[in-house]
Amino acid sequence: MVCKRIRVFGKVQGVFYRASTKTRAEELKLVGWVRNEPDGTVMLEVQGEEEKVDEMIEWCKEGPTYSRVDDVLYEVAEPKNRSSFEIVY
C-alpha cells in the first residue's frame, strides 16, 4: 500500500478534472481526495496498490478531454485510514 500526493499544472480547473479524477480513482480502486488549489493547479492524494497509484499518475499526465496538462509533480505521503475517494471543495 502506497500513498502519493500529486500536483497537476496546466489548464486543469473548469474542465471536469476533479470529477474525472474521482471516476478514474474509483475504477482503479484507490482512496483519497482531489481539490482545486488557489494557484490554478489541482492537488490530489491517492492511496492503494503501488501499480494502481502509478497508473493514476500516468492518467493525470493526460487528464480529461478538455484539460491541458503542463506538468505533474508527486511525492510520497503518509498513508491514511480512508475508505473512499472524495472531491474536496
Active site residues: 18, 36
DSSP one-letter string for 13-57:
SSSSHHHHHHHHHHHTT-EEEEEE-TTS-EEEEEEE-HHHHHHHH
Task: Please give the C-alpha separations between residue 89 and each of 3, 7, 34, in angstroms, as whole numbers.
Answer: 21, 16, 9
Q: Which helix (H) or strand (E) holds 61?
A: helix 50-62
